[in-house]
Amino acid sequence: MPPHVWLISLKDLDEDAQAIHLGEVARMELGTGQDDFVGDPLRMMLTGLEEQSRMPYVIEENGEAVGVLTLQSGAATLAGWPDDDSVWLLRGFLIDRRRQGRGLGPAAAAAAVATAAKLTARRGGGQAGVVLSVNERNGYGLAAYRKAGFEDRGQYLGGDSGPQRTMYAAF
Ligand SMILES: CC(C)(COP(=O)(O)OP(=O)(O)OC[C@H]1O[C@@H](n2cnc3c(N)ncnc32)[C@H](O)[C@@H]1OP(=O)(O)O)[C@@H](O)C(=O)NCCC(=O)NCCS
């Protein structure tokens, strides 16, 4: 059975609960070379809390923090999408090194799409789906997003660590 994950919205927690979750995020680790593909998890969560367009989430399995991701509105061109506003951007996505390879990535990416659909339903905004960009050398990432139902929309040369694929999942 695929694992079940919860996305905990940091912006919806009080300061004490945020601090507990941020402490867990600070202990997360990446595998060798994976910092080519994603930033530091704690820094990305702190930036997410500060910026109005970003919704930072801690990924939990059985009450334990296993990863992070961020949904951002108005920024889809950063993933090679032709406009900023018609879809959500999924960024800053990682599963802790010690939990990788068990299907948590695909489960969390699918949960991110469901969560983005709910955000659009609640706030308006008119987004039709979720886009992301993933480095062509990131085999684990490409496989995980495909399993979560994302489709390849072509090459994107905008990143600073080599060619990316733009991947999209409609609501
Ligand atoms: C990309 C990522 C989120 C995938 O999450 P995950 O929970 O490992 O996803 P999965 O369990 O489905 O694994 C994906 C693929 O990588 C393989 N894999 C992952 N970790 C592995 C490991 N430690 N050893 C061997 N294979 C591994 C899986 O077997 C699977 O390949 P398959 O489709 O051939 O079976 C995770 O690897 C990660 O956080 N990577 C670093 C950050 C990153 O690259 N983020 C994405 C930026 S766009």
119-128 pLDDT per residue, tens: 999 999 999 9
Residue 18 predicted with pLDDT over 90 = yes
Please state whether beta strands 164-170 and 129-135 pair in parallel, antiparallel, or not at all (unpaired): antiparallel
Residue 125 Cα, ligand 1 centroid: separation in angstroms? 32
* Cβ within 8 Å of residue 30, ≥6 positions away: 38, 94, 97
* SS3 (DSSP) at 72: strand
d(CA 115, CA 118): 5
- Domains annotated for the chain, with CATH where assigned, are 6-170 (3.40.630.30)
**Dihedral pair phi/psi, residue 163, rounded to 5°:** -60, 140
Look at residue 142 in the predicted model and tell me its pLDDT: 98
Report the alpha-carbon distance of residue 60 to residue 82 in Å, rounded: 32
113 lines ligand 1 (CB under 6 A): no
Kindly report the pTM of this predicted structure. Answer: 0.96
The encoded tokens of residue 28 equal 């997360």
pLDDT digits (tens, 9 = 90+) for 40-88: 999 999 999 999 999 999 999 999 999 999 999 999 999 999 999 999 9
- Nearest CA to 58 among 1, 49, 170, 80? 49
Question: Does the pLDDT of residue 162 top 80, yes or no?
Answer: yes
In this structure, which residue's CA is closest to atom 22 in ligand 1?
A: 101
Q: Is 159 in the pocket of ligand 1 (CB under 6 A)?
A: no
Which of 76, 93, 75 lies closest to 39, judged by CA? 93
CA 70 to each of CA 46, 54, 91: distance values in angstroms, whole numbers, following the listed order: 11, 7, 5
Amino acid 25: pLDDT: 98
Distances (CA, A) of 39 to 46, 91, 137, 143: 12, 10, 16, 20
The answer, yes or no, to whether residue 159 has pLDDT greater than 80, is: no
What's the pLDDT at 116?
Answer: 98
> Number of H helices and number of E strands within the chain?
4, 7
| Residue 132 CA, closest ligand 1 atom number | 48
Percent of the residues in the chain that have a pLDDT greater than 70, as a whole number: 100
